[in-house]
Chain A
């Protein structure tokens, strides 16, 4: 984030427009079709939510976008660069960052160190090791924690924090990593409803403020409608609808989650 540090100008990527496009992307696990061939393009700065029943392909699609999974066919482009041709984890990490339902912090490290881990891709090994004992770039970490509202617990073990606090620390780590595209896999599903609204508000607010593209899979239809401008319904690996939030009707949602339909198709 521009608020947190000044990045050396990257000649390859520009922060201003980082769009995402999928061209004829499909994914098979063995003979099972997880994602049927689909095209999708998401503009820079857009906030998109994937909806649909479990097993519908939401998580698979996110993992394809993050480069954790390879596509069976087709290409994923981030910022007009083909994800599969990017050689190192570090380059990918500058483009795309991900947060998960289970926060995935290292429980025995402090909140501050978990936050600073967002820079591991850029630090030398020596600097990373020194930072384990004596946190480096402490001010960056602390300002990220302040931005997400948990600066008070910077030196506590991540494992001892509440779910809401842990997810905020995970967001702070993402701030420090500073990717162009933020992927969120059911980011608030393991939080209670009140906490879920707050944390999602924070995530969306940060993405908006820095002009990041935000793509999330969402369990709660209400939260998705409230916070995202575009909703994509996925079922059995295919796009059922792809519309601006306000154009999605109850009938469409009903069809998306309809059990009868699910059973006949599977």
Chain B
């Protein structure tokens, strides 16, 4: 029925179709916000243009002194350590909760709804709060310790991974699973022998993407004082030492690129 109605409306475009209405509302909001801007005082404050120029110029006069480089390397190490530890913990949350939340471990509809629903709700709760907010909470609770950073990263990332894993595990083609079931395998064995192996390449590739995000997040999180690249960037920004800021930024970019290359290599090996 739905397919015929949508085909009908495609033939006779209606002005008040819900999609159009939404487009119009968004367009109106955009135009409205433009009109509401205070154009007379300009976007940026008076010294803004100069500051931007200086910041851009600093890229060509990088601070490559031994001091800065050692602190950049040690800060990079801290950031990577936070990201890896956080993601590892996130995997411990995401894999089991994702598997339960996908509802594929049981054939009982009742269990599927209760355990699946409950798990998906907690996953949604974990990820709907941003890692920066979790960081504030944990710094308040346990002080400026690496544990705060790792936990702050692990919880929302666990929520995100769990949700994506659940979807990937559900979307596996059904026919090979059916033939596993016909050998007498329970849903648990079907999970380990069918669903997981078939979903694994996509899960892995998404996990790598999350590691990349984790490095950026770990850098940003250290703005609250937890050490790492973000912490150094903030100190250098406060000192208006743009040359140093660029050095740290390039280290951050370098880390992300390394993870990207690594994930490409792993994925290529998997698909062989």
- B-side residues, CB < 8 A to A, are 175-176, 178-186, 188-189, 192-194, 197-198, 200-201
Closest A residue to B175 by CB, please name it. A104
Question: How many residues belonging to A are interface residues under a CB distance threshold of 8 Å?
Answer: 36
Residue A243, interface by CB 8 Å: no
In the complex, the answer to whether A121 meets B175 with C-beta atoms within 8 Å is: no
Most A-side CB within 10 Å, residue of B175, B178, B182, B185: B182
**List of A residues within 8 angstroms of B185 by Cβ:** 89, 117, 120-121
Q: Given known contacts A89-B181, A120-B185, A125-B186, what 11 new A-B pairs fall within 8 Å (CB)?
A: A89-B186, A98-B182, A99-B179, A117-B180, A117-B193, A118-B183, A120-B193, A125-B188, A128-B189, A129-B192, A173-B183
Closest to A88 in B: B184
User: CA of A82 to CA of B62 in the docked complex: distance in angstroms?
Assistant: 81
- A157's nearest neighbour on chain B, judged by CB, is B272
A90 touches B184 (CB 8 A): yes
Contacts of A117 in B (CB 8 A): 180, 183, 185, 193
7 cross-chain pairs, A with B, having the tightest CB-CB distances, nearest first: A121-B184, A93-B184, A120-B185, A104-B179, A90-B184, A108-B197, A104-B176
29 A-B pairs (CB sep. < 8 Å): A68-B178, A89-B181, A89-B184, A90-B184, A93-B182, A94-B184, A97-B182, A97-B183, A98-B182, A99-B179, A100-B179, A104-B178, A104-B179, A106-B176, A106-B180, A106-B194, A106-B197, A108-B197, A113-B193, A117-B185, A117-B193, A120-B183, A120-B185, A121-B185, A125-B188, A125-B189, A129-B192, A173-B183, A177-B183
Chain A interfacial positions (CB closer than 8 Å to B): 66, 68, 88-94, 96-100, 102, 104-109, 113, 117-123, 125, 128-129, 132, 170, 173, 177
Does B193 lie within 8 Å of A108, measured CB to CB? no
A112 to chain B, nearest CB (A): 13
Contacts A100-B175, A125-B189, A128-B189; A108 near B200 (Cβ below 8 A):
yes
Given contacts A121-B184, A173-B183, contact A108 B198 (CB under 8 A): yes
